[in-house]
């Protein structure tokens, strides 16, 4: 971003103790540099004098600042991904794998954005929707991390037929399935035994959750594939979860359809912040000697 942003949008999670100070830093920076700022309404005091952020006009901002953890960034990402608005995450939580700034560095980070001293890291996004047996689309969403099909309530295996571009991949008996982006490969998919995929690789990772047979392993599919998962288990209502936040129900005969979204998400990074440096620092990647160093 070589041009200073004229309007910054801010979303955040009110449960973080550091939120107030982080928000004040962002508002003060905007005021000092003649930048318009619009903030998620429930983060503002009634007499703040700051413009509320209208979800229907989020595409009008030049930068979205997220104050919270990875979950807050994912929520903000789904809001602005269709509009190509860059996202800068401030980590107020514990891990913050996707975020780029600590609260104390907000003003320095915004100065770097203003001066164009940043890297825009493009991340693949998935379009996710549920189809009824007659082909009716019952809901659509975007996923930066993953779409997870699983059972709610009693732990019991489910049967699913997986296909890619109309060709049968196979039938899975498992607790569920995770369809992840490269960004999501270091989230739930990783915990379920999936591979780590660098963000520059365009692919969809299909990771079964606790499969019944060792013959069913994680599968990496081309990003050009249209991946379909059909529910085969009779009388089983399943839950579709998007990025661990949005959810919908599927019944036998329904299909989960996942494909690459038209636009990537643009994450703001700073020079020296790379995927592998984040992997080593946040997930303790490497052997014991590397960790000690």
Q: How many CB atoms lie within 10 A of CB 212?
A: 13
Nearest to 183 by CA among 143, 217, 221, 225: 143
Q: Of the residues 21, 42, 60, 70, which is catalytic?
A: 70
Sign of CA dihedral 251, 162, 257, 144: positive
Distance CA 64, CA 59 (A): 10
> In sequence order, which residues have a C-beta less than 8 Å from that of residue 126 and are 6 or more positions away?
142, 143, 144, 146, 147, 179, 181, 204, 258, 259, 260, 261
Q: Does the annotation count 202 as an active-site position?
A: no
Q: Residues 50, 20: contact at Cβ < 8 Å? A: no
Using alpha carbons, list the distances in angstroms from residue 245 to 28, 70, 101, 127. Answer: 31, 11, 23, 15
Distance CA 145, CA 128 (A): 11
Element (H, E) at 122: strand 119-123
| Sheet with 265-269, side-by-side order of all strands | 51-52, 36-39, 7-12, 63-68, 87-91, 265-269, 119-123
Read off φ and ψ for residue 180, nearest 5 degrees: -120, 155
Distance CA 70, CA 203 (A): 21
Residues assigned a catalytic role? 70
């Amino acid at each position: 971003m070589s041009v200073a942003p004229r309007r910054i949008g801010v979303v955040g999670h009110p449960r973080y103790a550091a939120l107030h100070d982080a928000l004040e830093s962002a508002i003060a920076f905007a005021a000092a540099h003649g930048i318009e700022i619009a903030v998620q309404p429930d983060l503002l005091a009634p007499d703040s004098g700051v413009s509320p952020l209208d979800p229907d006009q989020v595409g009008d901002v030049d930068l979205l600042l997220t104050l919270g953890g990875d979950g807050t960034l994912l929520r903000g990402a789904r809001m602005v991904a269709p509009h190509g608005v860059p996202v800068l995450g401030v980590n107020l939580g514990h891990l913050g794998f996707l975020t780029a700034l600590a609260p104390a560095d907000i003003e320095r980070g915004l100065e770097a954005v203003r001066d164009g001293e940043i890297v825009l890291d493009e991340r693949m996004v998935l379009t996710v929707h549920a189809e009824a047996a007659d082909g009716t689309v019952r809901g659509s969403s975007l996923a930066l991390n993953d779409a997870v099909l699983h059972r709610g309530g009693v732990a019991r295996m489910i049967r699913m037929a997986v296909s890619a571009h109309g060709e049968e991949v196979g039938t899975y008996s498992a607790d569920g399935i995770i369809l992840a982006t490269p960004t999501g490969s270091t989230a739930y998919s990783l915990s379920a035994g999936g591979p780590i995929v660098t963000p520059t690789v365009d692919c969809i990772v299909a990771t079964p959750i606790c499969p019944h047979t060792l013959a069913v392993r994680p599968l990496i599919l081309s990003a050009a594939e249209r991946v379909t998962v059909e529910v085969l288990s009779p009388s089983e209502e399943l839950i579709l979860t998007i990025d661990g936040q949005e959810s919908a129900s599927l019944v036998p005969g329904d299909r989960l359809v996942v494909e690459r979204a038209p636009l990537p998400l643009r994450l703001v990074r700073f020079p020296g912040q790379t995927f592998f440096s984040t992997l080593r620092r946040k997930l303790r990647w490497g052997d014991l000697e590397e960790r000690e160093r």
